[in-house]
Structure 1
Amino acid sequence: MSLRNPGVPRRADRPAARPRARIAVLAALALMLNLPAATVAQRAGMVGGCDIRRGTLCTNLNLNGAQLAGANLANSQFTQSDLSDADLSGANLNEANFASTELRGTDFRKASMVRINLRGARLNEAKLAGANLTNAVFQNADLSKADLSGSTLANADFSNARLEGANLQGADLQRANLRAAKLKGASLAGAKLHGANFTRASLIDADLTGADIDQAIFLNAQTQGCKGCP
């Protein structure tokens, strides 16, 4: 004969108990470490309702200013989310999907971003110096005034991308596709452009001083005022 009060749910019937307990633990940790609760939550893998881990699905979320330096987010989906001014420096973003994402001023310095999808993303003034962007896709992306100095962009696709005023000094753009890209005022000084395709690209007032342009294609490119262009 059971003595349990039928009006009181069993432990297994209380789905909210575990999340509440987790929140309580995070709050206690915040007090112990003298840190904001949001910071502790981020370190525990929770940011803006997103479970920060490899292969996560976090679309249409506001993650503006999130602190995700060094996070492993390989194969993750962040399409149409806002990560403007977020810190993803040193993060693993290999094969992640950031299509149509807001990434204005976001810090990707020295991040691993091999085969990342940034199609249609807004990366104005983003910091990508020293990042590994081999085979990355930037089709129709806006990288105006972005810093890609010293980054690895071999075989990357920048077709129809906006790179006005971008810093690509010393970057490795070997065999990169820059067809119809807008590079007005961009600096590619000392960049490796071997085999890169600039067909119909705008290189007005760009700087290619000291760049390796061996076998690069400049068919119908606009090169008025360009330094180092053929």
Structure 2
Amino acid sequence: MRDFSQSKLTAKEVKMSVDPMTYEAQFFGFTPQTCMLRIYIAFQDYLFEVMQAVEQVILKKLEGIPNCEISPVQVRKCTEKFLCFMKGRFDKLFVKMEQLFLQWILRIPPNILLPEDKSQEMHSYSEEEFQLLQKEIEQLQEKYKTELCTKQALLAELEEQKTVQAKLKQTLALFDELENVGRNHGTSDFRDSLVFLAQNSRKLQDIRDNVEKESKRLKIS
């Protein structure tokens, strides 16, 4: 015989409310439609189990009746017919129960706020105020980006200053060495040292020029 479970409705066959009820789902942790679907399936499973138990009782009773002309197939047909009648009644009752639950019992009234949304009641904004806040946020973001670029430019300039400072230290060290050279030659003043170095440089250049001229003259002769 065919099992009663093959006559069960699937979740897709159950016509339920299409309202998402997201606020209720936020509060309960589940959608009210899912709750009602589980109730429907539980009642339906219980109805099938009862029908199977009733059928078994009828079959046992018929076994005790001598010369009984009622076959198990006839019993199953009658049981299925009665099951369809009960399902129809149950579906009509469930529609009313669904409306009651989704409209009143599992519905959060529009004037009720969840604890985590109480701040909306204290700080309510109109559409225009919200647009102004959005614009102010965008301006602050642009200002932050500008300040960030300025900060990066300042950091780059600071690194450049460090490089210049290092070169300046090298130049000062070179001047110290020049001053020490001047002192070794009897000139304690730094300006005198520079004059001394310049004079010696000219002398060396004159000597080099004379050597080059003499070398060219010798080659020609």
TM-score range relative to shorter protein: under 0.3
TM-score by length of 1: 0.19
TM-score by length of 2: 0.19
Larger radius of gyration: 2
* Larger RCO, structures 1/2 (Cα 8 Å, 6+ apart): 2
The structure that is helix-richer by fraction is 2
